[in-house]
Amino acid sequence: MDLSTTALGIELGSTRIKAVLVDNAHKPVASGDFEWENKLENGIWTYDTQDAVKGLQACFAALKADVKAKYGVTLTTVGAVGISGMMHGYLPFDKDMKQLAAFRTWRNTMTAAAAEKLTDLFGFNIPQRWSIAHLYQATLNNEAHVKDIAFLTTLAGYVHVLLTGERVMGVGEASGMFPIDSDTLDYDETMLKKYRDLTGTDLREILPKVLPAGAFAGKLTEEGAYLLDPDGDLVPGIPFAPCEGDAGTGMTATNAVRVRTGNVSAGTSDFAMIVTEKKLGVHVEVDMVTTPAGKAVAMVHCNNCTSDINAWVKLFGEFAELIGAPQEKGKLFTALFDAALSGDADCGGLMSYNYLSGEGVTALDAGRPLFLRTPDAKFTLANFMRTHLYSALSTLKLGLDILTKEENIEIDSICGHGGYFKTPGVGQRMLSAAIAAPVTVMETAGEGGPYGMALLAAYALNRREGETLEDYLDGRVFCDAKTVTLKATDEEIAGFADFCRRYEKALDVEKTATIQY
C-alpha cells in the first residue's frame, strides 16, 4: 500500500469524530472513530476543546489500528489531510491563542437580537448560529472577553491551527462565519465595512483567511504530528487542504457542487443544500452559504433530526435486554427503520416533535421532545417509527417549500447522505415522500462528511491545472459510482403532506411545552 497516494479526511461531527482514508482511486480503505456528545452547561450547548484533542487522538489511533490490521503497515504518512467539523459557532482566542470563552456550538439559539440587527443591516439573512451573530451578541451583552479577541474561528478552523499553525479556512466553512462574495471568493467587503462602522471592529484582523478548494493550506507541523499521534509514528510535513464545514463535505461526498444540484445531510441535525443560479430574497429560514469552490448555495438548516430517534431506539434496546434478548445496536436500528415501511402513509394519527433544542425554521428558542396521539389513532410500532422518521424531516420540508414554491428554485437532482440513510431504502423513501421527488443514495452514503473531506484533500493533492472541483468529482471520483435512486409512491407523498399539515397545526403544543416551569 502506497501511503503517499492516499488522502485523509477527519471530521469532528456532533456525535462522532471520524477519520476516513481513501486510496488513489478515491475508495475508502480504512477508518477510525471516537464517540462524543455535546453538553448543556450554564445554558450553553458546548464541547470542551480538550475533549476534541483527546477524541482526535483516539480517532487517529483507531485508524492506525485499522490500517495495520488490513494491510500490515504502520500509518506514518498520507498524501494529504483535510479537517472538517460542525459549521458555525463561536471559538474566540486572544493573541496567545488562549481560549476566551466556552465553545458555543451551532445548536445554541441565544443570538436572536444580534441576528435580527445584522440581517437588517446587511440585507442578508444572518442565522443565530453563525459566528458573526455570536460575536455581535457578545458585544451587545458587553461580555468582558470581547475586547481581547485576536482570532475568531470554528471547531474545524481551531483544529487546523493546532495541526498546521495556519489561520486559514475553506470558503464553504468561512461562509458560515460571515457572508461571502462568490465573485471574489472572500468575505463580502461591503458588509465588512458596515460591521466596522457599527462596532469599530475590523473583522479582517480576527477572522481566518479564506481559501478555495484545491488551495494549499499549510503542512503538518512537528507539534501537530505529535498531537495527532502521540506514539510518534506520524511524520510532519504532510500537506493540508483548506479545512471545511460539514455542509461543504456533505456536498462533496454526494457530488452536489454544480448549479441545480442538491443534497440532504441527515444525522444529529439535518440540512438541505441547493446550489443556486440566481439571487434569492431574504428569508430567515434560508441561509446563503457556498460550496467548497465558492458557488452560492441556499441552505435550509434544522438543529434537530435523529437525536430523538436515537433515544427511542436506546429505550427499545433496554427493553430487549430486560426480556433477555439483547440486540446489537446496528441491527436494532435496521429492524426498527424497516418496520416503519409498513406503517400508514400518514402515520395513522400519531405525531411527534423531535426538538431537543431550539429551531430557527419554526422560531423556537428551546425544544422539548414530544410524542402525541389522538384517542382513535392507529398506535402500532410501524406507525410509531414512521412518525419519528417523518418528524425528523418535517422542519426541513417547511424550509424547502420556501425555495421550491416561493423562489421557484429548480433542482435537477437530490442526493441523501448521513446516518438517517444508512438502512437501505428507508430514509431515502421518507425523504422522497417529503420533497415529492426522486432521491439518490450513493454506496458511500453512510461515510458522509469525513469521506467528503478526504475527497477535498485528494483534490488538493491531485488536481490538474485549471481542473475545477466539479469536473474533478464528475470525471475522476464519481464516474463509476454505484447509486440507487427511488421515488415514493403517490400515496406516500400525499401521506407526508397530510402529516406535515397536522405538524404545522399542532406546533403551538410544542411552543407551550418549551415554557420553563
Q: For residue range 134-166, list pLDDT tens digits in order.
A: 999 999 999 999 999 999 999 999 999 999 999
pLDDT tens per residue, range 252-303 = 988 999 988 898 988 888 889 999 987 788 988 898 999 999 999 998 989 8
Interval 426-442 mean pLDDT: 92
Scored b (16 or more CB within 10 A) or e, 479-492 reads eeeeeeeebbeeeb
How confident is the model at residue 8, as a pLDDT?
98
Residue 446 has pLDDT above 60, yes or no: no
Any residues with CB less than 8 A from the CB of 59 and at least 6 apart, and which? 10, 17, 18, 19, 32, 33, 34
- Shortest CA distance to 60 belongs to which of 48, 46, 74? 74
d(Cα 402, Cα 406) in Å, to the nearest integer? 5
Place 458 in a pLDDT band, splitting at 50, 70 and 90. very high
Residue type at 346 in one-letter notation: D
Interval 421-430 mean pLDDT: 92
d(Cα 447, Cα 445) in Å, to the nearest integer? 6
Helix (H) or strand (E) holding 152: strand 151-153
Residue 412 has pLDDT above 90, yes or no: no
CATH number of 307-444+487-513: 3.30.420.40
Residue 27 has which C-alpha cell?
475508495
How confident is the model at residue 516, as a pLDDT?
65
- Shortest CA distance to 244 belongs to which of 88, 92, 394? 88
Residue 341 has which C-alpha cell?
415501511
**CA 293 → CA 252, 298, 308, 403, distances in Å?**
10, 15, 34, 22
The reply to whether 3-254+446-477 and 307-444+487-513 are identical in fold is yes
How confident is the model at residue 159, as a pLDDT?
98
Domain spans, the chain: 3-254+446-477, 307-444+487-513
> Would you call 338 helix, strand, or coil by DSSP?
helix
d(Cα 179, Cα 192) in Å, to the nearest integer? 9
Helix (H) or strand (E) holding 244: strand 244-245
Write down the mean pLDDT value for the chain: 94
How confident is the model at residue 109, as a pLDDT?
85
Any residues with CB less than 8 A from the CB of 50 and at least 6 apart, and which? none
- Shortest CA distance to 448 belongs to which of 248, 289, 174, 272? 248
Helix (H) or strand (E) holding 168: strand 168-170
Return left, alpha or beta for 401; rule: phi > 0 is left, psi -120 to 50 is alpha, else beta: alpha
CB 159 within 8 A of CB 231: no
How confident is the model at residue 369, as a pLDDT?
96
How confident is the model at residue 280, as a pLDDT?
87
pLDDT tens per residue, range 477-513 = 998 888 899 999 999 999 999 999 999 999 999 999 9
List, in sequence order, every residue forming a beta bridge with 87; answer none if it has no partner: none
pLDDT tens per residue, range 293-348 = 999 999 898 989 999 999 999 999 999 999 999 999 999 999 999 999 999 999 99
Place 444 in a pLDDT band, splitting at 50, 70 and 90. low
User: How many CB atoms are located within 10 Å of the residue 324 CB?
Assistant: 6
How confident is the model at residue 460, as a pLDDT?
97
d(Cα 301, Cα 281) in Å, to the nearest integer? 17
> Would you call 304 helix, strand, or coil by DSSP?
coil
The 3 state secondary structure assigned to 96-154 is CCCECCCCECCCCCCCHHHHHHHHHHHCCCCCCCCHHHHHHHHHHCCCHHHHHCCEEEC
CATH 3.20.20.110 fits 3-254+446-477, yes or no: no
How confident is the model at residue 119, as a pLDDT?
96
Interval 164-189 mean pLDDT: 97
Residue 447 has pLDDT above 80, yes or no: no
Q: What's the number of CA atoms in the CB half-sphere (13 Å) around residue 387?
A: 24
d(Cα 227, Cα 297) in Å, to the nearest integer? 35
- pTM of the entire structure? 0.82
Residue 169 has pLDDT above 70, yes or no: yes
